[in-house]
């Protein structure tokens, strides 16, 4: 048992499960808006379980699918599978357990969430193979995160409102933009390995401009979203805060200097998601 728990710990570190914070706040934002406040504790708990399980399944599957690619990349050769810390069989088993937990959570929410769960899994697991075929794989990752608010809305209401799709589009563009930046560090390796990415196909300068345009699109969509839900002062301050944080994120890195990419990718994006959620929650509370 000690060995199994140790492997689970290594797996959680490998998939950076704490980075569930990227999409979870946007899901919680949609949950609050759908419920016009806090839903029942049971609904909130199952939404959180579904979110964490879905991301865990996606990340573990990605590490399983990319094990050979990771072994050939100097940046990723130290990951758990190529380093021999975990077997591919164990990681695939972990993925299956996470998928099962996700399906149970979806079933505990409502019928529509369960019916749509296979579609969500197709997006989450299918993303891992996109970079083998298209330079636009970043949009696949963006959609994987972007589904979170729409899924949370359905979990609360049992139906989909077109307004929440605007937040899904915003999160999609946000995640796609930061994935483009993240892919810049593998620019040379992807060319040698024959993998597709925007930096590999268009170059670093063009990739940075694509990321900026993606994040500008996100801000435009957030402004539209704020109007659709009649945000008050606090909600609009949240949109403004996201704009400032995105500007700071882009100031941290450039095509000539990627040294602070981890800070821009991991730290700032977690902060962006949490800040937006906090302002929207405050806006709802002030309007009660």
Alpha helix stretches (DSSP H) within 131-186: 137-157, 162-183
Q: Which residue has the tokens 């989450």?
A: 124
Would you list the DSSP string of 19-56?
GGGTTHHHHHHHHHHHHTS---HHHHHHHHHHHHHHHH
- What is this structure's pTM? 0.93
What are the pLDDT digits (tens) for 12-44?
888 877 666 778 999 999 999 999 988 999 999
- Indicate the helix (H) or strand (E) that contains 192: helix 187-193
Q: How far apart, in Å, are the Cα atoms of 278 and each of 87, 148, 236, 241?
A: 40, 17, 12, 11
CA distance 62 to 50: 18
What are the pLDDT digits (tens) for 158-193?
999 999 999 999 999 999 999 999 899 888 888 888
Two structure tokens written together for 28: 């919680």
What are the pLDDT digits (tens) for 43-59?
999 999 999 999 999 99
Two structure tokens written together for 123: 């997006």
| 288: helix, strand or coil | coil
For the chain, list the domains and their CATH numbers. Answer: 2-286 (1.10.357.140)
């Amino acid at each position: 048992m000690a060995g199994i728990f140790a492997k689970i710990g290594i797996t959680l570190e490998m998939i950076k499960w704490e980075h569930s914070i990227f999409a979870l706040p946007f899901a919680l934002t949609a949950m609050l808006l759908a419920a016009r406040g806090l839903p029942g504790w049971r609904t909130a708990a199952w939404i959180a379980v579904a979110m964490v399980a879905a991301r865990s399944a996606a990340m573990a599957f990605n590490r399983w699918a990319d094990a050979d690619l990771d072994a050939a990349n100097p940046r990723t050769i130290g990951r758990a599978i190529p380093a021999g810390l975990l077997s591919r069989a164990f990681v695939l088993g972990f993925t299956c357990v996470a998928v099962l937990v996700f399906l149970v959570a979806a079933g505990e929410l409502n019928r529509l969430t369960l019916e749509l769960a296979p579609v969500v899994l197709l997006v989450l697991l299918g993303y891992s193979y996109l970079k083998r075929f298209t330079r636009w794989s970043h949009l696949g990752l963006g959609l994987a995160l972007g589904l979170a608010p729409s899924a949370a809305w359905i979990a609360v209401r049992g139906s989909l409102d077109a307004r929440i799709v605007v937040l899904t589009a915003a999160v999609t563009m946000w995640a796609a933009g930061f994935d483009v930046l993240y892919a810049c560090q593998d620019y040379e390796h992807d060319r040698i390995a024959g993998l597709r990415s925007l930096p590999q196909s268009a170059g670093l300068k063009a990739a940075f401009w694509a990321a900026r345009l993606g994040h500008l699109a996100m801000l435009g969509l957030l402004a539209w979203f704020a109007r659709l839900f009649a945000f008050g002062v606090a909600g609009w301050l949240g949109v403004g805060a996201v704009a400032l944080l995105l500007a700071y994120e882009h100031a941290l890195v450039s095509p000539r200097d990627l040294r602070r990419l981890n800070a821009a990718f991991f730290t700032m994006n977690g902060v962006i998601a949490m800040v937006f959620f906090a302002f929207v929650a405050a806006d709802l509370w002030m309007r009660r």
